Amino acid sequence: MNVQEYISSGIIESYVLGLATREERIEFERMCAAHSEVKVARDNFEHTLEKRLEEQGITPPKHLKSKIFAELEVENDHRPEKILPLNQRPEMRAGWLRYMAAASVILLIGSTILNFYFFTQYKKYVNRSDELIAKQARTEAAAQTMQKKLGDYQSAMDLIKNPAMEVVRMPSVPSSPHPASMTTVFWNTNTKDVYLMVNNLPQPEVNKQYQLWAIVDGKPVDAGVFDMGEGTSLMKMKNIPLAAQAFAITLEKKGGSPTPSMDAMYVMGRVSI
């Protein structure tokens, strides 16, 4: 192996960073004494590494000096009173660089751990924030629903208290498919407006709809179809301008029917006036 191959083998980096074996260090020091190219390459690498570490602003530990002396097997009582500059003591500079390199690695690992910790905490706070925002949205939606229900109750009470309002209670008929059915019609005898409140009706099939009928002079008159709603809100139906004797509800195909299906009648109630 020639000198250039020896320099390119990585022995310089291993020696400076303290990774070389004892035999490799002895051989390297012999090569430095025998070949100036090897010594120049070592000095160049040490200067480059020293410059990079100084640029990172890493301060050597306070106990570094004593460790270096211990490694060089220098007794405390025989330490020179004047320490040569770093660039004039290759052995001390190599030891200092090894410790600085190790400190740099430790700082890098510590920085990585801290970055991961802070990123994890950040994700946790973001998820918590999203949960709170979603919870607030659900609360606001529930409040709006409750406000609407209160408004429906108030509207219903105002209509019921009207003296011109005729209340027609409609219990289930004997042949009702759902014996517990119950609805109430509110018919304004002045304006002829008709309102329906569903007390108890089963949910119909998708292709079916309930239809309200007014019985006028013994004949059914269409008062409109309706979909099932929640609560006791009143549904505005078609006006019935003529005097009705009764109201009834049947289950028809979706969209309604021109005539009621008598076998699918659920409720019926007579008008008292």
Give me the number of domains the chain comprises.
1
Q: What SS3 state is found at 34?
A: helix
Enclosing domain of residue 231: 165-270
Q: Could you tell me if residue 155 is inside a domain?
A: no
In tens digits, what is the pLDDT along the chain, a chain of 273 residues? 788 888 888 888 778 777 778 888 899 899 899 889 988 988 888 888 777 766 655 555 555 556 555 555 544 444 444 444 544 445 555 556 666 666 666 776 767 777 766 777 777 777 777 788 888 888 888 888 777 767 766 776 777 778 888 999 999 999 999 999 999 999 998 899 999 999 999 999 999 999 999 999 999 999 999 988 654 578 899 999 888 999 999 999 999 999 999 999 999 999 986
Beta-carbon count within 10 A of 215 CB: 18
Q: Could you tell me if residue 204 is inside a domain?
A: yes
d(CA 91, CA 89): 6
Q: Could you tell me if residue 258 is inside a domain?
A: yes
| Confidence (pLDDT) at 214 | 96
Q: Could you tell me if residue 136 is inside a domain?
A: no
Q: Cβ neighbours of residue 113 under 8 Å, at least 6 residues apart?
A: none
Residue 25 vs residues 42, 58, 134: alpha-carbon distances, Å: 12, 27, 66
| Confidence (pLDDT) at 251 | 97
Beta-carbon count within 10 A of 145 CB: 12
| Confidence (pLDDT) at 102 | 66
CB-based contact 198:229 (threshold 8 Å): yes
Two tokens, residue 82: 């004047």
Q: Could you tell me if residue 203 is inside a domain?
A: yes
| Confidence (pLDDT) at 261 | 94
Two tokens, residue 23: 């035999």
d(CA 246, CA 270): 4
Q: Could you tell me if residue 157 is inside a domain?
A: no
Q: Could you tell me if residue 62 is inside a domain?
A: no
Q: Could you tell me if residue 122 is inside a domain?
A: no
**E strands within 55-189?**
165-171, 182-188
